[in-house]
Chain A
Amino acid sequence: MIENFLGGVAVVFQPVNLLILMSAVFIGFIGGALPGISGVILVVILLPVTYGMDATAAFMLLTAIYGSTVFSGLITAILYRAPGTPEAVMTSFDGYPMTQQGEAGKALGIGILSSAIGGLVGTVALIVFTPLLASVALQFSSPEYFALAVLGLTVVASLGGKLIYGLIGAALGLFIATVGIDPLTGTPRYTFGSLNLAEGVGLIPVIVGLFAISEVMKRASGTETQQPLTKVKVKIFDSAIMRKIALTLSRSSLLGVAIGILPGIGASTAAMVSYSEAVRWSKHPQDFGKGAPEGIAAPEAANNAAAMGALVPLFALGIPGSGTTAIILGAFIMHGLQPGPNFMMVSSDLIYAVFAGLFIVNFMILVFSKPFIKLFTKLLNTPYSVLGPIIVMCCIVGTYSVRNSMFDVWLMLGFGVLGFLLEKLRFPLVAIILGLVLGPIAESELRRSLAMSQGDMTIFLSRPISATLIGVAIALLSVSILIPLYKKYKEKRLYSANAD
């Protein structure tokens, strides 16, 4: 394996291939940073270009773009609260408050470092464990996915803020997720006969609306017009911060790999679960959402690790783990390659060259991100009356390009107004996203599980992995409800004792 990998490194260091990798990283940076332009679209646009290329170079290009878009979504998420990719939504929760406190450089540094480390952990897992991990991923079927989604949803209880708002938000997200054609029976739900709603409400319009547009509205409404900062100095290696986020980084990277490997669950879900777990295990959960460094480290390490993890089933089994990897799979076939169980054996030269390329891409991210971010931080000094409309324009173009749908743009603007109003109530917007992302998984996997067991509910408890996950969910839920109650009880006793 090491020999193969070194062979791959040798291929990557051929000048042409290095040049390809560098341009891929740059293209990925730009695409990821623009809201709405996702890795999927970039890979599709570049696909025809790769047909004329040698297969190794072609796949180094495509996978490197894939890796770097997942990273660069954080730039606009942190600076303008306009997540460049869905994977970076969670990053804006703590990244943007830090920008507002004048610490954009620190926030970006944490994001870059966490991304690179997450990406490296993911790549190492990809190189070392691909054959092994793929068979683990196959153990996950509908009951396990359902249990995983339930575990994710219990996080609402520990999000902080008013619990009732969290519950309402999650329920709203779950409700939005039911709009569209029923995935199992094909019956239209809440579509009011409109074709635009048949596909359901997309994640991009909701995210872009709730976060980016509502922020522009807030800034435009005049209360906080002045620019909070003039100079952004990105510092990637800061030993004090590195000590603080070390534990979060390692936990989130591993969690990201584990979630990424599961087919059908992407980097966005990984970032969300990882953020929630960071809140859950933190000693100071009240700091999250107000600019906690761990709040940036957790989702960024996880989404980059998950992006690499999603390649595991692709290379080992020919099963794509996410949208972009599905397109890369199509590209393999167009190049006359046969991804599948024998792929690792038949095309090992190509695969190890791609692995080596991804490994090096993570270092390139560390090196090239600083000059690239300068472009964006310069923009911060332009008055918001200029910047705001530009952000809105980018949001509109990006949202439209996802499905070539003007309806999605109106939807996005509608969610912008909703987000603006909900924020005035101090409503946790993250709960809505949680429901929207996990809802479809929970619903359809529940129904698929019951179809598998002919309606027998015990299927969730008779399979070891799903039983464990559900057990953990119940335990965590009871802990997060009981501990505050206990604290209250103690305080009350203390108070009454003092009163006596």
Chain B
Amino acid sequence: MSSKNKMIVFGSLGVAMLMGPTLAAADEAANDYPSEDLKFLVAAGAGGGTDNFTRTVQPMLEEELDTSITVINLPSASGSVAHQRTANSEPDGHTWDFASSTLVTSLAAGQNPTELEELTPVARMQSDVMTLIVNPDKHEDLEAFLSYAEENPGEVTIGGTHAASPDKMAFLSFRDASGLDISFIPYDEEGSVSSNVLSGNIDGMFGEISSTLNYIESGDMRPILVFAEDRLENFPDIPTTVENGWDLTDGNERGVFVNADTPPEIVSQMEDALKSVYDSDEYQSYEEKVNLHYREGWMGSEEYKEKLEENLELYTRLIEETNQ
């Protein structure tokens, strides 16, 4: 046998050997998942809510999945870099993308090039409650606010963080549903929004109840509307959007995403792991500590996917209407 022929024989043998495992790969991968260390990409900067969430569940998941996990913050472009990197990663479930609702709001605003179809939502873990919060010296309650806004069209200003954030979407959908002529001022940091509400420079803000609790308790701020179906157990006096006839219930949500090509077996393994973390006492006491326990945070893969698709459609329409 000439050396050339030898090469061909061994070459084809090699190919056959390589093909074998590939065919059985999906099954095997699901059996011994995770087969290597996991990488958690955080679509936000260090120290924020999404980062806190990721770093809190990291040790719990390390124990649950018996592996070690590296956390990497990729805050650039509202987290778009993290989504893009996840969509381009090996579809083997070893790269997890931890994101907030900013994923879909920035997508609607055209700032995020990774389409929803390129990612599979694994689970939603947190669902913070969106509220309209005002300075009580300016507006007594929801009724007073509404009638003031109606009598003074164009004069009411509401603050929030960033131009393509859950706060902004709450504002757009509220304006759309109520038909009021009010305007939105985006700030870079939540601190600037609160200080402008406290000093009465703006009429109010859209924000999470969890981060303004102290001002509410001290009486410097007053939530006058919660985005929810039913009144919150802890705040029975605040009227809801649904009882006012506005079908708006979205707040800021946080969850986990993977590459859309990841085998369904692995996705469901990930979902199970997250679910048992979610149900643990340790995780629940964390949620209580950071005031995220006002409503159920858990949502499974399928349901979460549908919800995100609905959100995207609504936000895209609202933004298009604003730009017209």
Report how far A217 CA is from B218 CA in the complex, Å: 57
Q: In the bound complex, do residue B185 and residue A452 qualify as a contact, i.e. CB atoms below 8 Å apart?
A: yes
Q: In the bound complex, do residue A333 and residue B289 qualify as a contact, i.e. CB atoms below 8 Å apart?
A: yes
Q: What residues of B have a CB within 8 angstroms of the CB of A139 in the complex?
A: 199
User: Given that A139-B199, A318-B215, A336-B289 are known contacts, is A195 also in contact with B187, CB under 8 Å in the complex?
Assistant: no
Asked if A468 CB lies within 8 Å of chain B CBs, one says no
Q: In the bound complex, do residue B111 and residue A142 qualify as a contact, i.e. CB atoms below 8 Å apart?
A: no
Q: Can you name the residue of chain A whose Cβ is closest to the Cβ of B188?
A: A183
Selecting from B47-55, B143-151, B252-260, B293-301, the interface stretch reads B47-55
Q: From residue B13, how far is it (CB to closest CB) to chain A in Å?
A: 40
Q: In the bound complex, do residue A327 and residue B46 qualify as a contact, i.e. CB atoms below 8 Å apart?
A: yes
Q: Can you name the residue of chain B whose Cβ is closest to the Cβ of A321?
A: B191
Q: In the bound complex, do residue A342 and residue B72 qualify as a contact, i.e. CB atoms below 8 Å apart?
A: no
Name B84's contact: one of A186, A195, A320, A330 (CB within 8 Å).
A195
User: Given that A139-B199, A184-B163 are known contacts, is A40 also in contact with B290, CB under 8 Å in the complex?
Assistant: no
Q: In the bound complex, do residue A319 and residue B290 qualify as a contact, i.e. CB atoms below 8 Å apart?
A: no
Query: How many A-B contacts are there with CB distance less than 8 Å?
Result: 133
User: Given that A184-B186, A318-B214, A336-B289 are known contacts, is A341 also in contact with B46, CB under 8 Å in the complex?
Assistant: no
The 0/1 profile, CB within 8 Å of A marked 1, for residues 207-239 of chain B is 000000111011010000000000000000000
Q: From residue B288, how far is it (CB to closest CB) to chain A in Å?
A: 9
B51-72 contacts to A (CB < 8 Å): 51-52, 55, 72
Q: In the bound complex, do residue B215 and residue A44 qualify as a contact, i.e. CB atoms below 8 Å apart?
A: no
Report how far A326 CA is from B81 CA in the complex, Å: 23
Q: In the bound complex, do residue B195 and residue A319 qualify as a contact, i.e. CB atoms below 8 Å apart?
A: yes
Name A198's contact: one of B74, B80, B162, B196 (CB within 8 Å).
B80
Besides the known contacts A181-B163, A452-B201, 17 further A-B residue pairs in the complex with CB atoms under 8 A apart: A40-B46, A141-B199, A142-B196, A183-B186, A183-B188, A186-B164, A198-B80, A263-B192, A264-B191, A313-B195, A319-B198, A320-B191, A326-B47, A338-B214, A404-B74, A448-B187, A452-B157
- A to B CB contacts below 8 Å, 28 in the list: A40-B47, A141-B195, A141-B196, A141-B201, A183-B188, A186-B163, A195-B84, A196-B81, A198-B77, A198-B78, A198-B111, A199-B75, A199-B76, A263-B191, A263-B195, A317-B195, A317-B198, A318-B194, A319-B191, A319-B198, A320-B191, A326-B189, A327-B46, A338-B217, A403-B76, A404-B72, A405-B81, A452-B202
Q: Which B residues form the contact surface with A (CB < 8 A)?
A: 46-48, 51-52, 55, 72-78, 80-81, 84, 109, 111, 113, 154-155, 157, 162-164, 183, 185-189, 191-192, 194-196, 198-199, 201-202, 213-215, 217-218, 220, 289-290
Instruction: List the 3 closest A-B pairs by CB distance, nearest first.
Output: A340-B214, A186-B163, A198-B77
